[in-house]
Each structure stands twice: as structure tokens, then as C-alpha cells.
Amino acid sequence: MFIIKYVVVMLYCMGVYQYSRSTRSFNNWLFDYILPKQPGNISKRCGIQWLLLDFKDSQNTESLMTCLDVFSDEIVNSPRLLKISLRIRSTLKY
């Protein structure tokens, strides 16, 4: 069920991004879009998950660490995000 919610929320975010006609990258736009959202907001949780996994896959360590720091409260309060962040941190080479 979560996968369906995740896909729908991310499609919504991509639609808003396209509608905004932003010239910034999707990840930069998404970061700023979810930052002011209330804790526990589904678009914020899905956005954080997207950013964490994308930054990990692209090996963008600086952005990954920024994301982990800025959204640390949200990550700690979400079992799914906590699991993802712990898995990512265990693979990071400092």
C-alpha cells in the first residue's frame, strides 16, 4: 500500500514541479517545496525518501549529508525513513 501512496505523491510533486515551470533541478525544487511542510506530512516523508535515495544513488555525499541534517527530526519520527537513513549511513565513507 505504501508503494502506491509513494508513487501517487511523487507523481503529484512532479506535476506541481512541471506546473511551476521552475528552471531548477527537480531535487533542488523538491527540497525547497517540502522544507516548510508540517512534520508527518505525506508529501514531506515521500520527498525525503526520494531525496535520500536519489542522493545515495548519484553518490552526492554533500547533498545527502545536508538532507540528513535538515530533516533529522522527521527521519527520527518515521520508522521507514530511519531504516533508510541507517542503511545509507552504514554505506557512507567519511
Q: Given a cut of 60, is residue 11 above it in pLDDT?
A: yes
Largest distance between two CA atoms of the chain: 38
pLDDT for the residue numbered 21: 92
Q: Give 52-91 pLDDT, tens digit per residue.
A: 999 999 988 999 999 999 999 999 999 999 999 999 988 8
In three-state secondary structure terms, 18 is helix
Q: What is the DSSP letter of 92?
A: -
Closest to 69 measured CA to CA, from 85, 53, 56, 84 = 85
Instruction: State the virtual CA torsion across 3, 43, 58, 55 in degrees, nearest 10.
Output: -120
Closest to 50 measured CA to CA, from 12, 20, 92, 91 = 12
Q: Residue length, the chain?
A: 94
Provide the pLDDT confidence category of residue 2 given band limits of 50, 70 and 90: low
Q: Give 18-38 pLDDT, tens digit per residue.
A: 999 989 999 999 999 999 999
